[in-house]
Amino acid sequence: MPFTTYCDVAQDNTNSYSKNSIPPYMKAISGSLGGIMEASCLQPIDVIKTRLQLDRSGNYKGILHCGATISRTEGVRALWKGLTPFATHLTLKYALRMGSNAVLQSAFKDPETGKLSGYGRILSGFGAGVLEAIIIVTPFEVVKIRLQQQRGLSPELLKYKGPVHCARMIIREEGFRGLWAGVAPTVMRNGTNQSAMFTAKNAFDVLLWKKHEGDGRVLLPWQSMISGFLAGTAGPICTGPFDVVKTRLMAQTREGGGVLKYKGMIHAIRTIYVEEGLLALWKGLLPRLMRIPPGQAIMWGVADQIIGLYERRLHACWVVDSSTNHIP
């Protein structure tokens, strides 16, 4: 019985799920590996986005000018500032996002049919986004943004020497709560993003490729990337103000005992609108669109291959098991 070991293990790991479900731990693994690939490829765009959002005096004339200015004045390596917390953050974030979404989807499935409604898919995505925002995204992005907003070539002149030093300085100067600055807009941004993304990804898979979860088919990488890219476009447009406010709240410090400019999410939205105009709430939208949809394309291109491989092998086990049960 050459399939006995693998099939028995697979069945033990999935005995609480329907045969058409992928266990959460596999979703978590696939997401974390996809996150590593995404971070390595797209970090420069994230640095440019952050600099544009923090630019109140018009130093940068656009995406290309911002990237060229950073490279010229700070060196090309500056475009990868904050890579360590960004890569770690993406790896943990996607593991939690994909795993928790799978758990929530299982909870929202109809107990009799095993089917997931559109309403359940939206709520599962929103819940996964809220969890990742509170547990992982906010503290990692606070550190990342503080590192990215530093300008200069000389390390000794920079306030923060690295991600660990940055986190320690924030805790020392602002307390542990300082690592969760901007948590409210981050929760709203990520919850909305993930409810839209998971719903759209499933819809595009079905619409474009007739692919249903649990059918044993594995999409080609370029097919997964197209679905992921399209699914990643709606979120940045809808959540632009939350992202700008999040960045402003995370970037401000109490250095020198000064008073914080923004008192919270609503106050920040009002202040930015009054001082800079409505469009300022969508600052950095273009680099977000240049980063998030391609990032989702890369992540899903990796994740779907891992999930698909597991799904195909598990599907083969069920076929073998079914045929065996019918042997007289």
CB within 8 A of 31, min separation 6: which ones?
Answer: 94, 95, 97, 98, 99, 299, 303
CB within 8 A of 161, min separation 6: which ones?
Answer: 155
Residue 86 confidence (pLDDT): 76
Residue 324 binned pLDDT confidence (cut-offs 50, 70, 90): low
The rounded radius of gyration (Å) of the Cα atoms in the chain is 22
Q: How far apart are CA 312 and CA 314, in angstroms?
A: 5
Q: How far apart are CA 289 and CA 279, in angstroms?
A: 16
Per-residue tokens: 236: 């940045």
User: 3-state secondary structure string, 101-128?
Assistant: HHHHHHHHCCCCCCCCCHHHHHHHHHHH
| pLDDT of 1 over the 50 cut | no
CB within 8 A of 91, min separation 6: which ones?
Answer: 32, 35, 36, 39
Nearest-5° Cα angle at 107, 104 to 112: 145
pTM above 0.85, yes or no: no
Per-residue tokens: 157: 């002149």
Cα distances (angstroms) measured from residue 139 to each of 161, 216, 300: 17, 38, 25
Q: How far apart are CA 112 and CA 163, in angstroms?
A: 49
| pLDDT of 20 over the 70 cut | no
Determine the distance from the C-alpha atom of residue 245 to the mean position of all C-alpha atoms in its chain, rounded to a whole number: 18
| pLDDT of 322 over the 60 cut | no
Most confident listed range (34-48, 189-203, 250-264): 189-203
Residue 55 DSSP SS3 = coil
Most confident listed range (71-80, 128-137, 232-241): 128-137
Q: How far apart are CA 306 and CA 288, in angstroms?
A: 27
Q: Which CATH architecture has domain 24-251+260-323?
A: Alpha/alpha barrel (1.50)
Under a CB-based contact definition with an 8 Å cutoff, are residues 33 and 307 in contact? Answer: no
Name the residue type at position 204.
Answer: F
Q: How far apart are CA 211 and CA 219, in angstroms?
A: 8
Q: What is the pLDDT of residues 239-250, one digit of tens each?
A: 889 999 998 998
Under a CB-based contact definition with an 8 Å cutoff, are residues 233 and 289 in contact? Answer: yes
Q: How far apart are CA 42 and CA 49, in angstroms?
A: 11
Q: What is the pLDDT of residues 262-303, one digit of tens each?
A: 988 999 999 999 999 999 999 989 888 888 899 999 999 999
Residue 109 confidence (pLDDT): 92
